[in-house]
Structure 1
Amino acid sequence: MKLKFLRAAAAGLMLTVCSIANAGLIINNFGLTSSDNTITFDEIVFAGNTVVDTQYASLGLTFTSGLKYDAQGSSSFPGISGHYLGNFTPVINPFSIFFSDDQTEAAFGLATNPQTTTFNALLNGVLVESFSTSTSANNSSQGFYGFTGILFDEIQVASNSGSALIDNIQFNNSSSTAVPEPSTLAIFALGIMGLAARRFKKQ
């Protein structure tokens, strides 16, 4: 009876490992259901076309150098409101959002010309998850994109044509959302199964 219970527990844990290993993709018109931090680019204001890279580091974010600050602001695109960053003139492609701490979920507003955009989640420079989807500045059913359920410290955005605008970057404090590495959980699950087999032999 105990052996069956331990096997069931180990199997359940392995299923959890598999679910954590598969990222949840965020494609909607609101982003995260809740977040500790939202960077709107109104926190620190710059002159128009200022190149932004490390200026928001104290708030937990840095960017690929070359993105430019828009001082006029806009609320006409889903996901974009007030000030924002753009990868225009020259187009920076791909560009990345770097998080000071490891994240398990993050989302941000993105507006582009109608095109296909690829989103890559990376941890220490290694690709963790990726997806491509159609993006547009005129699709009211979406406008926020991101990842949840995996560990990453960078989101890379690659567009196949033209420039992109980003705004309202949402993310959580890693201390409150930390998820064990899938490999760690897998080792733990194997340990439980080994313990069950050892006890069964003794009986």
Structure 2
Amino acid sequence: MKKSLFSALFSVGALSAAASAAPISNASSGIANADQTITFDEVALAPGTVVTDQYEALGVTFSPNLFYIENFSNRPNLDDPGLASFGSSGTLTTYTINFTDAVSAASLAFSANFGNFTFTALDGGSTVESFNFDAGFSSTTAFFGFEGIVFDAIEIQSSNAFTIIDNLSYSEVPVPAALPIYLGGLAVGGVIMRRRKKARAA
């Protein structure tokens, strides 16, 4: 319900924000002033557990191809535990981070040994913004994501057999300052209309 309300209220804002969309690609840090940061130690799982809705209380779910892993803290920007995707080298593996409510920015620490990766911001299943990062034959451990747009999911497509994500941060869509006044006006208008109907009925 809340997500659909955001989509209706902020569709115009999302279109205007798209002009200032800023992909976060191979950055040394994630978004600033995040409303929520998930380090994946909030819910302890057995290594190898398929991760879907275990972190839903923190505003995110995952699908598919992600597993809970530990013992990789030697990689920069990553802290045990995290989520990993395993695939066959040379084949495409896709997984999605789904936000419970629309967000205006999100970033994650992402590590892979090599390969080509596509990051896509989605809203209601439609592409809002997308970019490609080619690590070639070099390893990468950096931050990726989006800001300056409204979206409710990030899809990651990888040509590498093994990737790790950690330190997922996101910022909620800000409520416009005029919105409470607008909603208050609607409520008052509804009361007036009901009183007029009662007066006519009398």
TM-score, structure 2 length as denominator?
0.71
Shift of 1:138: 3.9
Match of 1:85 among 83, 86, 101: 83
- Percent identity of paired positions between Structure 1 and Structure 2: 34
Q: Quick one: structure 1 residues 177 and 148, their matched pair in 2 at CA, closer, same or farther if it must change by over 3 Å? A: farther
- 2:112 is aligned with 1:112: yes
Separation of aligned partners in 2, 1:49 and 1:86: 9
Shift of 1:174: 2.7
Shift of 1:164: 1.1
Equivalent residue for 2:59? Answer: 60
CA RMSD in angstroms comes to 2.6
**2:92·2:159 contact (CA, 8 Å) conserved in 1?**
no
**1:77·1:137 contact (CA, 8 Å) conserved in 2?**
no
Shift of 1:33: 1.9
Separation of aligned partners in 1, 2:155 and 2:17: 23
Separation of aligned partners in 1, 2:64 and 2:17: 35
The residue type equivalent to 1:51 in the other structure is V
Equivalent residue for 2:134? Answer: 134
The residue type equivalent to 1:50 in the other structure is T
Q: Quick one: structure 1 residues 36 and 162, their matched pair in 2 at CA, closer, same or farther if it must change by over 3 Å? A: same
CA deviation string 1:97-127 (max 9, x = no partner): 0000101100001111211211000000000
Q: Quick one: structure 1 residues 29 and 132, their matched pair in 2 at CA, closer, same or farther if it must change by over 3 Å? A: same
Equivalent residue for 1:151? Answer: 150
Shift of 1:78: 2.8
**1:104·1:177 contact (CA, 8 Å) conserved in 2?**
no
Separation of aligned partners in 2, 1:45 and 1:117: 28
Separation of aligned partners in 2, 1:124 and 1:176: 19
Q: Quick one: structure 1 residues 64 and 133, their matched pair in 2 at CA, closer, same or farther if it must change by over 3 Å? A: same
- 2:74 is aligned with 1:76: yes
**1:118·1:130 contact (CA, 8 Å) conserved in 2?**
yes
- 2:43 is aligned with 1:44: yes
Shift of 1:134: 2.5
Separation of aligned partners in 2, 1:40 and 1:108: 10
TM-score, structure 1 length as denominator?
0.71
The residue type equivalent to 2:93 in the other structure is N
**1:108·1:146 contact (CA, 8 Å) conserved in 2?**
yes
Secondary structure at the aligned position of 1:48 is classed as: coil
Q: How many equivalent pairs are there?
A: 160
Shift of 1:65: 2.9
Separation of aligned partners in 2, 1:19 and 1:122: 14
Equivalent residue for 1:194? Answer: none
